[in-house]
Chains A and B, each alone.
Chain A
Amino acid sequence: MTRNRSPLRYLPAHSVDVASGPLVLFAAVSGMLCFVLWRMARGEATPFDAAGFIPQVMSVVLTVSVLVASGGGAGGDVANGFYRAWFSKPIAPWWFYLQRWLLGGLAVLCIPLLLGLGLKLVFGGAWGVTNELMAVIALGYLLVGGTVLLASGFTARDWLVTFLLSFAQARINDVMGIMEMTKQDPPAALEWAHRLLPPFHLISPIKGLPEGNDLVHVVAYGAGLVAVALILFVVKPLGSGGRA
């Protein structure tokens, strides 16, 4: 039999999974939000500020939506035993999961677009989605989603690991901020933890793109996480036992 060796042959199936899963959820939530705003704003004379509103919404939902879009990948397939069926076929795990991960990123990027479209339909006026906002969301996916991808090489609870790391970094960042304000030197362990954990605190759709070293830090850290995750899928056998 002449085999279809296209590396993209399973992409349509992945796309269906993402479209019927996270994307439907994101569209439903965006639609509901627009509907609620429309009901609340009926009769108001002032035009709706979509450009200010969308970054605020994204700063609240970004981490959760990335966890929804990228969670339960390799770790879930290993825990459920699906990997034995997938990877008996001529496809490499790293490529399979990279495709799924990238599509998850596209789904997250659709959230501001869906919101912008909905708000424009409801209120008219400005579109409210800027290139900078999209870039921040892409960076957020690279960092948060990259952490999920790496964690999925070890556990099915990749989303939980990422959430806990993100929570820990946010709290450490809060403490560091307070200590800076009160002109106290933070403990060395705290400073190290702040440096070693993924720089989730540098991602903010409200503040916009990080600049200078912060931008380099986020990009390098995110790309590093994704690269290490993919290498892990190449070198680490997926199974843990004869039947597991």
Chain B
Amino acid sequence: MIRFEGVSKSYTALVSRKRVDALADFTLEMARGEVVGIAGPNGAGKSTMISLLMGFLAPTAGQISIDGIAPRRWVERNGVGYLTELVNLPPRWKVPTTMRRMATLSGVPSSRVAAEADGMMARLGLEEHAAKRIKQLSKGNLQRVGLGQALIGDFELIVLDEPTHGLDPLWTQRFREVVAELRRPNRLVLIASHNLDELEMLADRVAILDHGRLQRVVTHATEERSEQHAWRLVLEGEVDVAAAISGASPVAGRAGTWRVVASRRELSASLARLLADGAVLVECVPEQGRLESAFREAVQR
């Protein structure tokens, strides 16, 4: 569906003529049915990549296409459910007006605009804010309005830039459910986020960007093959963990707690032996998220 081929985007300062490469030789393909994450530190090029995809910027070099045509033309023809990093909507509009106008722009049939807008407000818990203007909303509520306007047209392409920014934990969880509901065979969902746990939970693949370059694409398959991870293991019982697992070391001051560096396969086999010897497993968690490990490795920080 989406193809970036050797795409670069540079900005040149007007006065100093200093050039900044926001995206450099970026190549990635994404298909319908996928949920793709884009991760990267601040200034990595995530927002530039999305602006190029929406046709709001033109690449300095390379080609971008959606279903074989230029992004701007595709967007004008089909529309995109797009949540911007900074939600900018007219401050004087009321929440229902915003939803109805965005539904109209999205091409929702006029007979269903009111119902769709009200339905989206109910889905995102915005009914209690119906009397408020955009400028009166808190950051979290504004983010929900932004999400609502993005989701209101039932589009084949959904682009969410920092979608949980400003949301409380309850609504962060609700957002994850909403994204899970969005998954369809004919739809591509693209999520750019700093929140690696979120991407790990939601995305099939995560492209890690740094300094405008694609460093790595992490998929569940590559994670499986990754050789070593650090785990925190808590066991009860009279068992010799150090003897059973070669990379295990006790955590000082915490009885029964071990730090283990092993692949998932090795850890599983070792744990099976320990459990067979009478150990009781209390906890086994990755010390870092798997994506976080890959991220740190990719950006070398």
Contacts and interface: CB of A to CB of B under 8 A. Distances in A.
Given A82-B89, A84-B56, A88-B81, A242 B102 contact: no
Interface in B225-263: none
Contacts of A1: 108, 153-154
Nearest to B152: A89
A87 B101 contact: no
Interface in A1-32: 1-5, 9-10, 12-13
A242 B22 contact: yes
B106 A90 contact: yes
Given A4-B107, A84-B82, A88-B75, A238 B56 contact: yes
B79 interface: yes
Interface in A60-115: 80-92
Nearest to B88: A81
Contacts of B89: 82, 85
Interface string B98-132: 00011011111110000000000000000000000
B154 A237 contact: no
A80 B88 contact: yes
Lowest 10 CB-CB distances: which A-B pairs, in order?
A: A81-B88, A242-B47, A239-B56, A88-B82, A3-B107, A90-B79, A242-B48, A89-B105, A1-B154, A4-B109
A42 interface: no
B215 interface: no
A241 interface: yes
B50 interface: yes
Interface of B: 11, 22, 45-51, 54-58, 72, 75-82, 84-86, 88-90, 101-102, 104-110, 149-150, 153-154, 159
B97 to A, nearest CB: 9
24 contacts: A1-B153, A3-B109, A4-B107, A4-B109, A9-B110, A10-B105, A12-B104, A13-B101, A81-B86, A82-B88, A82-B89, A82-B90, A84-B56, A85-B84, A85-B88, A87-B76, A88-B75, A89-B105, A89-B153, A91-B76, A239-B51, A240-B57, A242-B47, A243-B47
A86 B105 contact: yes
Contacts of B101: 10, 13
B232 to A, nearest CB: 37
Interface in A197-244: 237-243
Contacts of A239: 51, 56-57
Contacts of B86: 81, 243
A13 B104 contact: yes
B139 to A, nearest CB: 15
A12 B81 CA distance: 22
A242 B54 CA distance: 11
B108 A4 contact: yes
Contacts of A4: 104, 107-110
Contacts of A2: 109
Given A84-B54, A242-B47, A89 B106 contact: yes
Given A10-B104, A13-B104, A84-B84, 20 more contacts: A3-B106, A12-B104, A82-B89, A82-B90, A85-B84, A85-B88, A87-B56, A88-B75, A88-B81, A88-B82, A88-B159, A89-B107, A90-B77, A90-B105, A90-B107, A90-B153, A237-B57, A237-B58, A237-B72, A242-B47
Nearest to A83: B56
B107 A9 contact: yes
B80 to A, nearest CB: 5
B161 to A, nearest CB: 9
A13 B108 CA distance: 14
Contacts of B78: 90
A241 B107 contact: no
A243 B159 CA distance: 14
A204 to B, nearest CB: 36
Contacts of A89: 79-80, 102, 105-107, 153
Given A241-B11, A242-B22, A242-B48, A91 B85 contact: no
Contacts of B76: 87, 90-92
B31 to A, nearest CB: 21
Contacts of A240: 57
Contacts of B48: 241-242
Contacts of A83: 56
B105 A91 contact: yes
A90 B47 CA distance: 21
Contacts of B55: 237
B188 to A, nearest CB: 14
Contact of B88 (A3, A12, A84): A84
A237 B107 contact: no
B75 A242 contact: no
B57 A88 contact: no
Contacts of B82: 84-85, 88
Contacts of B77: 90
